[in-house]
Structure formats: C-alpha cells, structure tokens
C-alpha cells in the first residue's frame, strides 16, 4: 500500500495530519506493508526567500485575528504532542522541497520531512538559510556535499517539485495536507485518527 502525501513544511495542519496518520498506522494491522511518499506543495509560492516572523506574515494576510488563529492551531498541535514555537519563521519553501526529493533519492525522505517540520514549528529554525538546511539534512542522513550541491544548482529537482504541485491540482487538491492511498482513496485535511484508520482498513480490503 502506497500513501502519497502532498504537504508543505510550513503548513501547521500538515504536521498535525502527519502525527494523526502515524497514530492511525500504530493501530493498523498491516502497517508494515505501507510505503509513504511525500509530495511537494507550496502554500505560498510567492513567499519571499528571506525569513519573516510567521505571526507578522499572517497578520498581513488575515489581519488582527491572525494571532488568535495561530494560538488555536498551536492548541490543536499540543493535543498531538507537538509544542509549536511562538517565534516560527515564514519562508519560501521551494528549496526545502527540492531537498526532500534529494532525501527520497537517498532513501531517507520521511526522516528529512520530520526533521524539517520539527525544525520549523518547534525550534523556530530558518528554513531559508542554506547552512541550516545542510545541518538539518545531515541529521536526517543526507551528506553535506549532496545537500550543498542541490542548493547551489537551482534546477536540481525543480521539475520534480513543479510536477508534484501540478499533479496535486490535477487530483483536485486545493489545499494541504492531501493524502492519496493507492491512487484510489483521497483524504483531504488533518482528519481524526479514526478517519485515517478506517480509510487504511478499507483500502487494504
């Protein structure tokens, strides 16, 4: 069974959805048969490459209620064991997605995805900083040289990222997270654990 997940590394519901899927897999009788593939998606492709405080960025998009929105999401995340930092930084994630394709080629994509999400949401790391990305990818199992080679070549894995985003639109995904099981069952959003578990069991047959 293959689960493809379209998500962004600065999407809070993507991290919450990842945890909920993991909790469902912990109860799923055939979890050992599951392959997870992370697909690229950018919530804001036009985001600047220089990091800015997320709350400041949200305020420019959603106005005064942005802080309350962020607090509500953080409270939901805490229920899943995720302690979101209040000083997260908003960045353009295209390079991070290119590196996730590199990590897939190296066989450590899930570890890299988790490391980037944790760095952004829990540690408040700057995912636009090349040295930070190199260090995080190294922790996930990708060599410094391989990461720097990709970062220094903007064309490397760029088509793969663009292809993922185009495919998401083709599948009707207007937002993320978006989960597709064996190209048959689609789940939109960070659904409850029970919903994921039911979908897994139905798909497995």
Q: What is the pLDDT of residues 165-177, one digit of tens each?
A: 999 999 888 889 9
HSE, CB side, 13 Å, CA atoms: give it for residue 65: 4
Domain definitions of the chain by residue range? 2-44+92-204
Highest mean pLDDT among 42-56, 67-81, 106-120: 106-120
Listed residue (107, 118, 95) closest to 142, CA to CA:
107
For position 172, what pLDDT does the model report? 87
Residue 57 has pLDDT above 90, yes or no: no
Residue 1 and residue 33 in contact, taking contact as beta carbons nearer than 8 Å:
yes
Given the DSSP bridges, would you call strands 89-90 and 185-188 parallel, antiparallel or unpaired? unpaired
Q: Quick count: other Cβ atoms within 10 Å of Cβ 49? A: 10
Residue 70 has pLDDT above 90, yes or no: no
**What whole-number distance in Å separates Cα of residue 8 and Cα of residue 12?**
9
Residue 66 has pLDDT above 80, yes or no: no
Residue 124 and residue 89 in contact, taking contact as beta carbons nearer than 8 Å:
yes
Q: Quick count: other Cβ atoms within 10 Å of Cβ 147? A: 25
- Helix H or strand E segment including 122: none
Residue 113 has pLDDT above 80, yes or no: yes
Asked if CATH classification 3.40.30.10 holds for the domain at 2-44+92-204, the reply, yes or no, is: yes
* Percent of the chain predicted with pLDDT > 90: 82
Residue 4 burial (CB < 10 Å; 0-12/13-18/19+)? buried
State whether the Cα torsion 102-103-105-110 is positive or negative: negative
């Amino acid at each position: 069974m293959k689960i493809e997940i379209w998500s962004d590394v600065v999407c809070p519901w993507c991290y919450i959805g990842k945890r909920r899927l993991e909790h469902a897999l912990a109860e799923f009788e055939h979890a050992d048969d599951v392959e997870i593939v992370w697909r690229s998606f950018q919530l804001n492709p036009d985001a600047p490459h220089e990091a800015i405080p997320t709350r400041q960025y949200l305020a420019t998009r959603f106005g005064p209620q942005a802080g309350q929105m962020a607090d509500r999401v953080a409270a939901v995340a805490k229920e899943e064991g995720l302690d979101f930092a209040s000083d997260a930084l908003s960045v353009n994630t295209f390079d991070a997605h290119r590196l996730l394709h590199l990590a897939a080629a190296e066989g450590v994509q899930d570890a890299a995805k988790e490391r980037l999400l944790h760095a952004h949401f829990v540690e408040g790391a700057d995912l636009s900083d090349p040295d930070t990305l190199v260090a995080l990818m190294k922790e996930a199992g990708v060599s410094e040289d391989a990461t720097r080679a990709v970062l220094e070549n903007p064309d490397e894995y760029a088509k793969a990222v663009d292809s993922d985003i185009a495919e998401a639109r083709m599948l009707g995904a207007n937002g993320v997270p978006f989960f597709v099981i064996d190209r048959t069952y689609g789940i939109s959003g960070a659904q409850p654990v029970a919903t994921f578990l039911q979908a897994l069991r139905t798909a497995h047959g």
